[in-house]
Structure 1
């Protein structure tokens, strides 16, 4: 298992996402809270990515997309000379969670730190509903010869990965190509990617500008000054060496990655030493609490939100025509 740290451009986008989603430590708030935390850019991006939809609407949208994918796969497989029954059963959208993620709540941080080593629901066992999954294409595939089954799955999902591709998957350098992923790749591309306005040529320059904006936000003079105050506080608390607030959290993920990677890979993989993982968990909580203290001391979240909103408003003012066109295209769909 490998845990992803928050690198470069993702850090800036994540900082923006905190503002888009709101930074409440208490869960609740309803429509008033939603209005309170709506940022200048999220007013446009919610229309593109469904942030303005209820969970029920998002569930229906997900079910519709899955149905369309499966129907396209069936048509594609038939063209390849195979039977295929669309599988639309047991689909659930994973947008909601019963667990609160509260990185600004002291009691939560005292227990979970950043939520890396330990996190809400980690030890939960999935509920056994007693229902056994039945593959609607299982009997048909079983009726095929071994060579026909190989051809079936290659048509469905593309050829098996080569040793080079497996190595690339392991080191994180693998790049997915829908054209090499059979009928599923083509169907998912048509339903998800081809209809994704962020991937369209029409709005390519706008989304490139947004990427540059999110990258530069974390490096703006205002955020650099705020991070400098936070870093000075962390240094005084005995945790030096962090330039940005996200660096503290990333340091834990880096150590956790190292523990997992030390176990090797493949069939010879060995789980990390539990004592070492427990020790990391203790350091995580200690660091996260110091981080929380310094965020509170510097009024980090509120100031970060204010800075982000001001920068977003300037971006909106500079790109209003393109953003309005983007929202209109999203609402038309």
Structure 2
């Protein structure tokens, strides 16, 4: 199909400019569509946003450069758009699980191959995307800075508070990990999900993970500090490919779709079950530096669903 060839050509352009400031408008022009249309089509086809794809590719390419080249860590950081070695190292460790020096020494890293779109017929379905990535994580002893609101559109209000604080108080804010939580749920009165939910009032908390020395007290640079989530969580990428009539992402519908996939995964493991009776679920937001500066859509979104091991049979 011609439109698929055009999108692949746009991806070719992005691949050739990973070491430069990415011009998404130029990529959209190559794909012969508007920027918003290109973003929606890319997310629909790949289950990942444009900016998150570029971030992951740069992380994989930077690891390859460290292993096969002799550039210093700070040189690789600057090449892929990071302003400091510290910010790069934290983002690198979040992605690969180990710091740049360990990858260079061991030669082991997380691969993230370039995407080439193709259409496959699977039974009676036309497939152009894959399932969200799902994994099990165990958390404990982490400290967070939190921002609480109880109002209409609380998610937007809480994240705006956190964004303002992070940009003023943290030098490495793009490399941090961020989660949110509605303690009583997004529909505390039992309402069904609606496309437009700006009038629903409920509590919401937006958190940023702190490093050990930052979380020793009950406050950090004016923000309240608390313990992070504890226990086992099923963490799954939410494919942000459900849209409202006005073209904006419908996170609620996207979350429900991902929940179904994650439930299937949990059944297949036969070793865990959900543990949501008393434990809340969390929403991890992946932000780009551009989001902190100008707002807009997030780069990625993950669900943290509390789980526990099944009791062994007698």
TM over 0.5: no
TM-score category of the 2 structures, normalised to the smaller one: under 0.3
More relative contact order, 1 or 2 (CA 8 Å, 6+ apart): 1
**Structure of higher CA gyration radius:** 1
The structure with the largest strand share of the pair is 2
Tell me the TM-score normalised to structure 2 length.
Answer: 0.25
Tell me the TM-score normalised to structure 1 length.
Answer: 0.24
